[in-house]
Chains A and B, each alone.
Chain A
């Protein structure tokens, strides 16, 4: 079973993402911000990271850079959750090593389609 690390400081977003993924058969690990995510990554083998960008402590871009720096996660797909208005953030995320993006708000089917594109 594939494990997805869902990183978001909003409880409802984490729930929405987690619910959709679990229903599609993924195992989900949740993290509340970038720093928390790095701790969680140490514990489990993660196949996909879905992260928000605006978060306290360590934001999404910072997290992506940290993840890519780790040999074990060099090739792991990372999806960022962005809002339509933040195309600058999208570019920055890609430069940091993100694989793709999902524009908020999204419906669960749409979300899963994008997830499957990078982590079937």
Chain B
């Protein structure tokens, strides 16, 4: 019996005590999650750097370890499937299978399946169907491998190359000069790529004839055959055209002349003719030169820069300039994170259960509360008792405690800080999937990945970020064709940058796409009934852009299956606001869009405005408060039976906080025409409301503790905090609070109309 094949079909841990089994299984799930992420990151790098052996080995190792541990722990679904993925990686490593796009997509699909299988094995349920993915993973690839080996054999390319020895140095220089003269300043460089429709051969069309015609029109610098769509030998139909040919040419002929060569390409053919600006060439060259030290197995567009240098179409100064540009602008074509980022080096670490950290943070919360109480007590002693000696000693002691608690608070909160990288991890995949689905070219740059955030904020950030990026690629970045017509580089750029700003973290997602037209947004909002025509007319462009965060607005001319039907940006906004963050958008038509997320460093401690209403204390996150005002009777009036005031240049409805929260048993005094009103203007979910309260207190740092579900049922109360004087303040969640207040206004208006 071959032991490798007789993997235990039963639980290999069956003989162990339940507690240990549980521990082992939990340990594996955690380990596997990390390995799966490593595998995915490595695959995304390989997509751009297929010859990176180190990454290849890292991917293989990750799959190998997942398989091994899974079998050992009894996650058999994971073990079986990962085994096949490992085989595929091994075949690619041994160059028996090519790393074509479809294989790579199958492997990424496999990564998703491993995740699903992990969950299924954990629950002991039936896993997803893997047969489709397996078929794609295990395809017969011998034809493609053989062809690509033949295409890149040295004998085929060495003819063009000059020997790089001292003896040829003089000749080389002459060669440079003559070539520059020959190609000349007026010669243009084009990249041409074509794939004939599947039935082209049967229409008498032959790619070889087209290549030959092209060489009549232009000096062909390099031709590359793309074998990506070539099927396995079994599936190969010799009557069908599969290959794509890509060329770089220098010519005096016009672009129209080059395109004319493809006049007869039947429907279903793909033809691209791209003119390259010299400056653009230089940039591409610089990026590619970066990877030039690695031996290239697959010839492709990636080599454009190298080729151009080799062909002396680019001067060294141009390259240097480009390198500099690249240095300041960050790497181009960086959909995949660079290797250092994937491997990560954060020093030695200890794994701690998050629950333990949360418990520690809760405890610090108690301590902060006690400290606040001590400070309060100190004030009482100072003002109400005449014991200066005692007060002085108390003050000294409490100063020490105060300092230590503050330090401890910072340190413990920092334990839960994680680099924002963890939230960015899924983004390359998202961009890749959406871009490839829509046939767009998109570079994703991620900057500031080391910026730290509280784990809970980082976790809450993932979904909004994914959504924003989907939107950027789906609606922002145009098709290559449209971009070319707009005079932009064909490859769109999406940039995600995180950095510390003030007391929090700023995350910017910007694209160089078509931008958002405020007029279109306004029209859409009016036609969807979100705002009235009058209100629309009064909106500035900036205010109109903000409407993208309103629920139920979608302006995409056609609804795609990627970004859905306009549910999204409103959810993004409410998620961010719920965490005490702020979202804003700016956009320039034709230039691009930037979405800014300002986030608190941590969720559990934040600066809050304390207010009193109906005898209760409430805390509101400072970020949500637009302004506080004392409104005199002349400054507010009644509109449709409800009090309103002009605050911050805007008409704001006034609602007593106690009414909004439905505190009928101890409501504050009703709004009377004779008295001044204390109002805090709160933003939440794109709406604004003026909450009338009885008293305002100084803003302070508070520690939020969770409250029982029955209290937070309305969603408006997100927690509670113990104040320095021992009172408990209820922490209000701005989005839900504003919604409650507006609902109250509407119900009162309805009653008013009925009466």
Q: Point out residues on A near B: beta carbons under 8 Å.
A: 68, 74-78, 94, 97-101, 113, 116-120
Question: Which of the residues A75, A101, A120 comes within 8 Å of B204, measured between beta carbons?
Answer: A75
Interface pair B261/A117, CB less than 8 Å apart: yes
- The CA of A42 and the CA of B422, in the complex, are separated in Å by 71
Known: A98-B203, A99-B205. A120 touches B264 (CB 8 A): no
B746 within 8 A of A: no
- The CA of A109 and the CA of B740, in the complex, are separated in Å by 79
Interface pair A118/B266, CB less than 8 Å apart: no
**Chain B residues, CB < 8 A from A98:** 203-204
Interface pair A117/B203, CB less than 8 Å apart: no
Question: Which of the residues A68, A74, A97, A118 comes within 8 Å of B264, measured between beta carbons?
Answer: A118
A–B complex contacts, Cβ < 8 Å, 7 sampled: A68-B202, A98-B204, A99-B203, A117-B210, A117-B213, A118-B204, A119-B209
Interface pair B204/A116, CB less than 8 Å apart: no
**Chain A residues, CB < 8 A from B263:** 100, 117
Taking the closest CB of chain B, its distance from the CB of A116, in whole angstroms, is: 6
Nearest-CB residue, chain A, relative to B214: A117
Interface pair A77/B212, CB less than 8 Å apart: no
Nearest-CB residue, chain B, relative to A49: B204
B276 within 8 A of A: no
Nearest-CB residue, chain B, relative to A68: B202
Question: Which of the residues A78, A94, A97, A120 comes within 8 Å of B209, measured between beta carbons?
Answer: A120
**Chain A residues, CB < 8 A from B261:** 117
B396 within 8 A of A: no
- The CA of A74 and the CA of B239, in the complex, are separated in Å by 10
Taking the closest CB of chain A, its distance from the CB of B239, in whole angstroms, is: 8
Name the interface residues of B459-482: CB closer than 8 Å to any CB of A: none
B650 within 8 A of A: no
Taking the closest CB of chain B, its distance from the CB of A8, in whole angstroms, is: 19
Known: A116-B213, A120-B212. A75 touches B201 (CB 8 A): yes
Most buried by B among A94, A99, A117: A117
Name the interface residues of B613-629: CB closer than 8 Å to any CB of A: none
Taking the closest CB of chain A, its distance from the CB of B98, in whole angstroms, is: 28
- The CA of A98 and the CA of B264, in the complex, are separated in Å by 10
Interface pair A77/B202, CB less than 8 Å apart: no
Taking the closest CB of chain B, its distance from the CB of A74, in whole angstroms, is: 6
Known: A117-B210, A117-B213. A97 touches B202 (CB 8 A): yes
Taking the closest CB of chain B, its distance from the CB of A3, in whole angstroms, is: 15
**Chain A residues, CB < 8 A from B201:** 75
- The CA of A78 and the CA of B239, in the complex, are separated in Å by 17
**Chain A residues, CB < 8 A from B264:** 99-101, 117-118
- The CA of A113 and the CA of B646, in the complex, are separated in Å by 75
**Top 4 A-B pairs ranked by shortest CB distance?**
A100-B264, A99-B204, A77-B204, A120-B212
Interface pair A118/B206, CB less than 8 Å apart: yes
Interface pair A118/B202, CB less than 8 Å apart: no
**Chain B residues, CB < 8 A from A99:** 203-205, 264
**Chain B residues, CB < 8 A from A116:** 209, 212-213, 216
Taking the closest CB of chain A, its distance from the CB of B480, in whole angstroms, is: 25
Binary interface profile of B, 194-206, with partner A (CB < 8 Å = 1, else 0)? 0000000111111
Name the interface residues of B200-240: CB closer than 8 Å to any CB of A: 201-206, 208-210, 212-213, 216, 239
- The CA of A93 and the CA of B396, in the complex, are separated in Å by 100
- The CA of A64 and the CA of B266, in the complex, are separated in Å by 16
- The CA of A100 and the CA of B204, in the complex, are separated in Å by 9
**Chain B residues, CB < 8 A from A76:** 204
- The CA of A64 and the CA of B261, in the complex, are separated in Å by 22
Interface pair B205/A94, CB less than 8 Å apart: no
- The CA of A108 and the CA of B742, in the complex, are separated in Å by 80
**Chain B residues, CB < 8 A from A117:** 209-210, 213, 261, 263-264
Interface pair A77/B206, CB less than 8 Å apart: yes
- The CA of A46 and the CA of B310, in the complex, are separated in Å by 42
- The CA of A98 and the CA of B208, in the complex, are separated in Å by 18
- The CA of A118 and the CA of B208, in the complex, are separated in Å by 9
Taking the closest CB of chain A, its distance from the CB of B210, in whole angstroms, is: 7
**Chain A residues, CB < 8 A from B210:** 117
Most buried by A among B202, B203, B210: B203
Interface pair A75/B212, CB less than 8 Å apart: no
Interface pair B206/A75, CB less than 8 Å apart: yes
With A97-B203, A113-B216 given, can you name 6 additional A-B contacts, CB distance below 8 Å?
A68-B202, A75-B201, A99-B205, A99-B264, A119-B209, A120-B213
Taking the closest CB of chain A, its distance from the CB of B181, in whole angstroms, is: 27
Interface pair A77/B205, CB less than 8 Å apart: yes
- The CA of A113 and the CA of B253, in the complex, are separated in Å by 14
- The CA of A120 and the CA of B209, in the complex, are separated in Å by 6
Nearest-CB residue, chain B, relative to A117: B213
Taking the closest CB of chain A, its distance from the CB of B473, in whole angstroms, is: 37
- The CA of A74 and the CA of B261, in the complex, are separated in Å by 22
- The CA of A68 and the CA of B264, in the complex, are separated in Å by 17
Binary interface profile of B, 131-172, with partner A (CB < 8 Å = 1, else 0)? 000000000000000000000000000000000000000000
**Chain A residues, CB < 8 A from B209:** 77, 116-120
- The CA of A37 and the CA of B261, in the complex, are separated in Å by 28
**Chain B residues, CB < 8 A from A94:** 203, 266
Nearest-CB residue, chain B, relative to A64: B204
**Chain A residues, CB < 8 A from B216:** 113, 116
**Chain A residues, CB < 8 A from B212:** 116, 120
Known: A100-B263, A117-B264, A118-B264. A74 touches B205 (CB 8 A): no
- The CA of A74 and the CA of B212, in the complex, are separated in Å by 21
- The CA of A97 and the CA of B263, in the complex, are separated in Å by 15
Taking the closest CB of chain B, its distance from the CB of A120, in whole angstroms, is: 4
Taking the closest CB of chain A, its distance from the CB of B198, in whole angstroms, is: 14
Binary interface profile of B, 238-270, with partner A (CB < 8 Å = 1, else 0)? 010000000000000000000001011010000
Interface pair A74/B213, CB less than 8 Å apart: no
- The CA of A101 and the CA of B204, in the complex, are separated in Å by 12
**Chain A residues, CB < 8 A from B208:** 120
- The CA of A75 and the CA of B239, in the complex, are separated in Å by 9
Binary interface profile of B, 635-661, with partner A (CB < 8 Å = 1, else 0)? 000000000000000000000000000
Interface pair B213/A78, CB less than 8 Å apart: no
**Chain B residues, CB < 8 A from A74:** 202, 239
- The CA of A119 and the CA of B206, in the complex, are separated in Å by 9
Taking the closest CB of chain A, its distance from the CB of B265, in whole angstroms, is: 9
Taking the closest CB of chain A, its distance from the CB of B222, in whole angstroms, is: 20
- The CA of A3 and the CA of B261, in the complex, are separated in Å by 22
Taking the closest CB of chain B, its distance from the CB of A68, in whole angstroms, is: 8
Taking the closest CB of chain B, its distance from the CB of A42, in whole angstroms, is: 19
Taking the closest CB of chain B, its distance from the CB of A108, in whole angstroms, is: 16
Nearest-CB residue, chain B, relative to A119: B209
- The CA of A75 and the CA of B204, in the complex, are separated in Å by 4
**Chain A residues, CB < 8 A from B266:** 94
**Chain A residues, CB < 8 A from B204:** 75-78, 97-99, 118
Taking the closest CB of chain A, its distance from the CB of B223, in whole angstroms, is: 15
Taking the closest CB of chain A, its distance from the CB of B726, in whole angstroms, is: 88
Most buried by A among B204, B205, B263: B204
Taking the closest CB of chain A, its distance from the CB of B56, in whole angstroms, is: 40
- The CA of A99 and the CA of B659, in the complex, are separated in Å by 79
Taking the closest CB of chain B, its distance from the CB of A10, in whole angstroms, is: 24
Binary interface profile of B, 280-311, with partner A (CB < 8 Å = 1, else 0)? 00000000000000000000000000000000
Most buried by B among A94, A98, A100: A100
- The CA of A55 and the CA of B609, in the complex, are separated in Å by 92
